[in-house]
A and B are shown apart, each in its own frame.
Chain A
Amino acid sequence: MSAPSKETPKPVEQHRADVGHIGKSVVIRGELTGNEDLYLDGEVEGNINLRDHKLVIGPNGKIKANITARDVVIHGRVEGNVNTSERVELKRACTLIGDVATQRIAIEDGAFFKGAIDVKEPKEARPEVRKPVASAPVVSPASSVANSGPSLSAGAGSQGSFLEPK
């Protein structure tokens, strides 16, 4: 008999040494900018700008901010617009209320999204080059949306009012 699988999401990126980490007890109000990848499990109100880096919002993350980054992965809750040069991932049980502009988006079943999704075309097709502090955006071969999630994700009331002319 196999052991039951755990339901909690696994923020695998958080333990990498080159990733900044903001814990769940931290509350930030204002502008958050950086030049490195960031794992954010706290609360932020304001704006987040990581330009060419990756932002992972942990399951305890509560963000009320517009986000600009290269990649954004959301496990927690975000209210605000998300603008990435490459990829957005909405994980199971996350909430995103806001508009998304990105080249690629992956949404797991169970994610809640309210807003608009605009999939941008790559600006130019050229080989992928990444620098530590890159100024040139990395271009992916094609814009696409992927489902990375598991699998694929009374009595009749009164209706007379619909018969009446207005």
Chain B
Amino acid sequence: MSSGHNFMRWFRGAAHPSAKPSEKATAAPRTTRRCIGLGEFMKDLRGSESRKLCVLDLGPTSPANITFLTDRHMRVYNEDILRCAKEPAVLTRQNDGLERIDLDKFFAENLAYPDGHFDAILCWDAADYLPEELVKPVVEKLHALLKPQGTLLAFFHTKDAGPDSPYCHYHIVQPDTLELEEGPGFRLQRIFNNRHIENLFRDFASRKFFLGRDNIREVIIVR
């Protein structure tokens, strides 16, 4: 009986239908994940009262990340780049009737900072979910926004789990630990292999790869 019950969970999802509907509606479950890449990323990131480091977080607004970074004397910038790419204001209708992103409009509204403004950028796995036409221009823009020797942390899926591949929000809880919270709205667009990543970030000085057990490749990229 018990094993049958567990087996059926695969078909109807992990949450039992009778399990606390109010909780389900307000808070997505979170899982904790050790992140060696984040640990490496944080190693050289030390701000001070006199010199605050500028860090750009490209994920959804995360109170945990803002707490973590501001407590370490950093000035935090937040741009949910995936959400911004879906804003109607940056779309234009093409001759074929399809809506595509207007790059000029997109960069007028987003990532509008002076060159070399940031000491570090948390890109998370945005590149896996960005629309095709935005990937290269965004990476070029991030290259311009980073200071020389500035660091960027990016994640890449190593396995296509199909349309059900969950999009996650990343919350920093410790220098080498993240909480993952499943978020709605975005589908995995592509899988980058190491060579794709090398090519995509070829303008940067170095790339360091860490392969996690959960099919996520963590990459530290230095300008």
Contacts and interface: CB of A to CB of B under 8 A. Distances in A.
A156 interface: yes
B27 A150 contact: yes
B192 A118 contact: no
Contacts of A30: none
A109 B63 CA distance: 7
A156 B63 contact: no
A118 B73 CA distance: 9
Contact of A153 (B181, B187, B199): B181
B63 A153 contact: yes
Interface in B177-205: 179, 181, 187-192, 195-196, 199-200, 202
Interface stretch (B5-13, B36-44, B74-82, B207-215): B74-82
A89 B94 CA distance: 41
Contacts of B181: 152-153
A10 to B, nearest CB: 15
Please classify how large the interface on chain B is, using the bins under 10, 10 to 19, 20 to 34, 35 or more. Answer: 35 or more
Contact of B78 (A4, A114, A147, A152): A114
A119 B70 CA distance: 7
Contact of A152 (B61, B64, B84): B64
Interface in A88-114: 90, 105-109, 111-114
A112 B66 contact: no
B223 interface: no
B66 A115 contact: no
A157 B189 contact: yes
B119 to A, nearest CB: 13
B104 interface: no
B114 interface: no
Contacts of B67: 144-147
Nearest to A147: B63
A156 B76 contact: no
Contacts of B26: 150-151
A132 interface: no
B71 A144 contact: yes
B49 interface: yes
Nearest to B187: A154
Contacts of B132: 157-158, 161
A2 B21 CA distance: 11
B27 A162 contact: no
Given A151-B26, A162-B136, 19 more contacts: A2-B22, A4-B21, A107-B61, A117-B75, A121-B49, A145-B71, A147-B64, A150-B26, A151-B27, A153-B64, A153-B169, A154-B188, A155-B162, A156-B191, A157-B189, A159-B196, A162-B135, A162-B192, A162-B200
23 contacts: A90-B61, A105-B66, A107-B63, A107-B66, A112-B83, A115-B78, A117-B66, A117-B76, A117-B77, A118-B52, A143-B70, A145-B66, A145-B67, A151-B26, A152-B64, A152-B171, A153-B169, A154-B163, A156-B191, A158-B190, A162-B135, A163-B199, A165-B202
